[in-house]
Amino acid sequence: MQSLFLRSWQRAWHGLGATPAEGLLQTLLSAYAEPQRHYHTQQHLAECLAHFEAVQDQALRPAEVEIALWFHDAVYDVKGKDNELRSAQWAARVLEDGGVDEAACRRVHALVMATCHEATPQDGDAQLLVDIDLAILGASPARFAEYDTQVRAEYAWVPRLVYGIKRRQVLRGFLQRKAIYATPYFHARLEPQARANLRRSTAP
Angle among Cα 95, 25, 83 to the nearest 5 degrees reads 65
Last residue of a domain, one of 118, 146, 168: 118
Q: Is there a domain that residue 91 lies in?
A: yes
Last residue of a domain, one of 118, 146, 177: 118
Residue 168 amino acid letter: R
Rg (CA), the chain: 17
Q: What's the pLDDT tens digit per position in 64-116?
A: 999 999 999 999 999 999 999 999 999 999 999 999 999 999 999 999 999 99
Tell me what pLDDT residue 204 has: 79
Q: Is there a domain that residue 125 lies in?
A: no
Q: Using CA atoms, how far apart are residues 60 and 51, in angstroms rounded to an integer?
A: 16
Last residue of a domain, one of 60, 89, 118: 118
Is residue 70 within 8 A of residue 12, CB to CB? The reply is yes
Residues of the chain above pLDDT 90, percent = 96
Quick count: other Cβ atoms within 10 Å of Cβ 161?
Answer: 8
Domain count, the chain: 2
Looking at the predicted structure, is the pLDDT value of residue 117 above 90?
no
Q: Domain of 36?
A: 1-118
Looking at the predicted structure, is the pLDDT value of residue 54 above 90?
yes
Q: Is there a domain that residue 104 lies in?
A: yes
Residue 4: pLDDT band with limits 50, 70, 90: very high
Q: Is there a domain that residue 2 lies in?
A: yes
- Regarding whether 90 and 2 lie in a shared domain, the answer is yes
- Regarding whether 145 and 113 lie in a shared domain, the answer is no
Sign of CA dihedral 74, 79, 84, 90: negative
Q: What's the pLDDT tens digit per position in 15-49?
A: 999 999 999 999 999 999 999 999 999 999 999 99
Looking at the predicted structure, is the pLDDT value of residue 120 above 90?
no
Q: How far is CA 149 from CA 1, 2, 60, 178, in A?
A: 22, 25, 35, 27
Q: What's the pLDDT tens digit per position in 156-183?
A: 999 999 999 999 999 999 999 999 999 9
Q: Is there a domain that residue 123 lies in?
A: no
Tell me what pLDDT residue 118 has: 81
